[in-house]
Amino acid sequence: MLSLKALPRAPHFDFAIAPRVARAEAALKPHVNRAVLGMGVAYPIATLPQLYNVWVLGRTGGLSEITYGCGLVMASAWTLYGVINRDRAIWLVNALWIGLHTAMFIGLMR
């Protein structure tokens, strides 16, 4: 069995660049968070044409209630996770998915 003590140690490096990386990361983080939240909100909007097909045109061929039911359960679990961990990007996006999965599920069941 391989022991961690038997592994060679990495050489010691001077990490003078680390403060610069930390500052760059801190400067980028809010912008990346906004971009991810924006993309996360835009993606569920892409399902609106499918909702239109189900609710307005009544086209449900090839769509499964099981798929949307499972999606609803998973989005609910992720929303709960996001709320507990106070991660707005996770709970907001998944709350949108709860609405869309619920609408699709009800549309398929009617």
CATH number of the domain where residue 69 is located: 1.20.1280.290
Question: Helices H, strands E: what count in the chain?
Answer: 4, 0
Residue 100: CB atoms within 10 A of its CB come to: 20
In a domain, 52, yes or no: yes
In a domain, 13, yes or no: no
Higher per-residue pLDDT: 24 or 97? 97
Q: Which domain holds residue 54?
A: 34-109
Which tens digit of pLDDT belongs to each residue from 66-78? Answer: 999 999 999 999 9
Which tens digit of pLDDT belongs to each residue from 41-51? Answer: 899 999 999 99
- The yes-or-no verdict on residue 23 having pLDDT over 90 is no
Please state, in angstroms and rounded to a whole number, the distance separating the CA atoms of residues 89 and 101: 18
Q: pLDDT at position 3, please? A: 56
Domain count, the chain: 1
Please state, in angstroms and rounded to a whole number, the distance separating the CA atoms of residues 79 and 47: 19
Q: Is 104 left (phi over 0), alpha (psi -120 to 50) or beta?
A: alpha
